[in-house]
């Protein structure tokens, strides 16, 4: 199962992804974390993107697209990725479909965490005391929120059209949000199971029918 989780920066995507990863044995693919790692390790890419990230802008679609393909193409992660922070715009959403298709995979659920700017400001100021993220200032938080809002609308419409989108209230507590998400995933898995049973029953009927025909022929 592949899951996409998105929401404005500070909505709790990272926290919720880690909880889902543990519960459903998935792998968290956080583009933000991968990009921050490049900056921390002072790689060529890290130097190229550090000011973009620190200013609250989006890194180029090609750079993040290349990063995620490394994971999608790796068999270890096949059908067990949770995309945390990707896609961020319509080009990326389409690119994700293209890449998953290329490696014979698909998205199963898209989770949108809905949170207001006021809550985000509060959470960012709390997070600043725990993690030292250079992009965690109130001004940059607002900038990142605006960037998110500007780009995400077509992504939401894109996933609505394919009936994949589930909106989760991100204002409640970590455990309440996590329970709601787990319920949605369990519900989806139950639905998949019923579809398999249905297909199996269909195949079985045709097997029975097949043997019935053979029996009829054998009586001739």
User: Least distance from C-beta 196 to ligand AMP, angstroms?
Assistant: 33
Rounded Cα distance between 145 and 138, Å, is 10
Q: How far is the CB of 62 from ligand AMP (least distance, A)?
A: 10
Encode 51-86 in three state secondary structure: HHHHCCCCCCHHHHHHHHHHHHCCHHHCCCEEEECC
Q: Which CB atom, from 128 or from 189, has the smaller least distance to ligand AMP?
A: 128
At residue 102, the 3 state secondary structure works out as: helix
Secondary structure element (H or E) that encloses residue 34, with its range: helix 31-40
Least gap, CB of 1 to ligand AMP (angstroms): 21
Extract the tokens encoding 206: 């045709």
Choice between 46 and 188, CB closer to ligand AMP: 46
Q: Closest approach of Cβ 77 to ligand AMP, in Å?
A: 17
Q: How far is the CB of 141 from ligand AMP (least distance, A)?
A: 10
Choice between 5 and 109, CB closer to ligand AMP: 5
CA proximity to 28, closest of 71, 107, 84: 84
Name the residue nearer to ligand AMP (CB basis): 142 or 188.
142
Q: What share of the chain is helix, strand, coil (3-state, %, to 5)?
A: 65, 10, 25
Q: Which is nearer to ligand AMP, 52 or 184 (CB)?
A: 52
Number of neighbouring beta carbons within 10 Å of residue 47: 11
Q: Smallest gap, in angstroms, from Cβ of residue 58 to ligand AMP?
A: 4
Query: How far apart are alpha carbons 135 and 57 in whole angstroms?
Result: 10
DSSP symbols for 14-26: HHHHHHHHHHHT-
Which residue, 32 or 170, is less far from ligand AMP as judged by CB? 32
Report the interface residues with ligand AMP, using CB under 6 A.
9, 31-32, 35, 52-53, 56-59, 64, 85-86, 88, 92, 144
Ranked by CB distance to ligand AMP, the top (closest) residue is 32
């Amino acid at each position: 199962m592949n899951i996409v989780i998105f929401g404005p920066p500070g909505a709790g995507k990272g926290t919720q992804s880690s909880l889902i990863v543990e519960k459903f044995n998935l792998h968290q693919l956080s583009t933000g974390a991968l990009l921050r790692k490049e900056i921390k390790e002072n790689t060529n890419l890290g130097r190229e993107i550090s000011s973009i990230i620190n200013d609250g802008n989006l890194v180029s679609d090609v750079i993040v697209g290349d990063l995620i393909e490394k994971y999608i193409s790796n068999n270890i992660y096949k059908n067990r990725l949770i995309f945390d922070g990707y896609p961020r715009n319509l080009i990326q959403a389409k690119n994700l479909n293209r890449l998953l298709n290329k490696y014979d995979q698909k998205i199963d659920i898209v989770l949108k965490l809905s949170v207001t700017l006021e809550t985000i400001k509060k959470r960012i100021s709390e997070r600043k005391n725990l993690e030292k993220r250079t992009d965690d200032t109130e001004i940059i938080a607002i900038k990142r929120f605006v960037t998110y809002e500007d780009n995400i609308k077509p992504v939401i419409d894109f996933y609505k059209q394919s009936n994949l989108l589930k909106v989760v209230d991100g204002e409640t507590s970590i455990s309440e949000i996590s329970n709601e998400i787990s319920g949605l995933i369990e519900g989806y898995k139950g639905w998949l199971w019923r579809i398999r049973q249905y297909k199996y029953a269909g195949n079985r009927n045709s097997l029975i029918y097949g043997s019935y025909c053979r029996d009829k022929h054998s009586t001739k």
